[in-house]
Amino acid sequence: MPARRFGPGDYLERPWKNGRGTTVELQVEPPGATLETGFLWRLSMAAVPASGPFSAFPGIDRTLLLLAGDGMELDHGPHGRALLAGPFQPVSFSGDWPTYGRLLGGLCRDFNVMTRRDAVRHRVDVLCPGPVPVPLPAAPTVLVFCARGQAWAGQERLAEGELLRFDRGASTNLTVQGSSAVLVVVGLEPCAPVPGAPT
């Protein structure tokens, strides 16, 4: 299956679960899924103008990184703290944890990956390929978001703010390259069934 391309005109603005802001939904599975119906996975980005509590997402695993801003501290209460000192440093945590985001300076823009823990695993890599081709990770579904600059994924040109989606392992043996590009690459694969669990 060839790559599918998405850009700002395809993204949807959604309210935060806690009502304190909005998020830009890049991709969600199944298509059209909402917070009310539930999702298997979701990619989104948001502007965070002030410190405040994160929404609770029981049963969801999350990875967060900054696209821009002075940094943010994530306070997970009894589960400790994590520091996003600057852009493009992924931090993973459980959506079950109480989390408070404390800005270290002004407004931040973040990139957020969420997967339903019992169904999907995710991996987030930040690639800065430059002129030398870098291989894409292998996974049943791979999403490549161009956070900065422009890049090529195989024969597909990717401009800043655009996203390519590869399904059914179509990213296997593909490389990316670009001039001053920063790519956020998300690999998604179904969890292995638990032996003895009902199907």
Task: Check whether 198 has a pLDDT greater than 50.
Answer: no
Please check whether residues 96 and 132 belong to one and the same domain: no
Residue 158 buriedness (CB in 10 A; 0-12 / 13-18 / 19+): buried
Task: Check whether 195 has a pLDDT greater than 80.
Answer: no
Q: Average pLDDT, stretch 112-135?
A: 94
What CATH number does residue 43 fall under?
Answer: 2.60.120.10
What pLDDT sits at residue 15? 84
What the block records as the tokens of 121 is 């695993």
Q: For the chain, give the mean pLDDT.
A: 91
Alpha-carbon span 137 to 124, nearest angstrom: 10
Q: Of the candidates 161, 149, 155, which has an alpha carbon nearest to the alpha carbon of residue 133? A: 155
Residue 153 lies in a domain: yes
What pLDDT sits at residue 36? 85
Please check whether residues 129 and 94 belong to one and the same domain: no
Q: What does the DSSP 8-state code read for residue 106?
A: S
Residues 77-86 have pLDDT tens digits of: 999 999 999 8
Which residues are CB-contacts of 13 (< 8 A; sequence separation ≥ 6)?
22, 23, 24, 25
Residue 141 lies in a domain: yes
Q: Of the candidates 56, 58, 54, 17, which has an alpha carbon nearest to the alpha carbon of residue 35? A: 17
Please check whether residues 139 and 55 belong to one and the same domain: no
Residue 4 lies in a domain: no
Measured CA distances, 28 to 64, 75, 111, 133 (Å): 16, 27, 14, 29
What pLDDT sits at residue 1? 59
Domain's final residue, options 55, 90, 116: 116
Residue 196 lies in a domain: no
Residue 181 lies in a domain: yes
What pLDDT sits at residue 170? 87
Residues 19-31 have pLDDT tens digits of: 777 899 999 999 9
The stretches of 54-177 forming alpha helices (DSSP H) are: none
Domain's final residue, options 88, 116, 144: 116
What CATH number does residue 146 fall under?
Answer: 2.60.120.1030
Q: Of the candidates 111, 122, 118, 112, which has an alpha carbon nearest to the alpha carbon of residue 59? A: 118
Please check whether residues 98 and 186 belong to one and the same domain: no
Residue 3 lies in a domain: no
**Domain encompassing residue 151:** 120-190
Please check whether residues 28 and 108 belong to one and the same domain: yes
Q: Average pLDDT, stretch 96-115?
A: 96
Please check whether residues 104 and 171 belong to one and the same domain: no
**Structural domain count of the chain:** 2
Domain's final residue, options 69, 85, 116: 116
Instruction: Write out the E strands in the chain.
Output: 4-6, 12-15, 22-29, 41-48, 52-53, 60-68, 72-75, 81-84, 91-94, 100-103, 108-116, 120-127, 134-135, 141-153, 156-158, 163-167, 175-190
What pLDDT sits at residue 76? 97
